[in-house]
Amino acid sequence: MEEDIKKACEIMQKGGIILYPTDTIWGIGCDATNPDAVKRVYEIKKRTDSKALIILVDKESKVEFYVEDVPEIAWQLIELSEKPLTIVYDKGRNLAENLLAEDGSVGIRITKENFSKKLCDRFRKAIVSTSANISGEKSPVNFGEISDEIKKAVDYIVSYRQEDFSTPAPSSVIKLGKGGLIQILRP
Tens of pLDDT, residue by residue over 81-134, are 989 999 999 999 999 999 999 999 999 999 999 999 999 999 999 999 999 999
Q: What is the CATH number of domain 2-186?
A: 3.90.870.10
CA distance 147 to 134: 9
- pLDDT given at position 129: 95
With b for 16 or more beta-carbon neighbours within 10 A and e for fewer, the 101-125 pattern comes to beeebbbbbbbebebbbbbbeebeb
Angle at 80 between CA 130 and CA 169, to 5 degrees: 35
Give the residues of the chain that fall short of pLDDT 50. Answer: none
Bridge-based pairing state of the strands 172-176 and 156-157: unpaired
- pLDDT given at position 96: 97
* Sign, CA torsion 26/162/124/30: negative
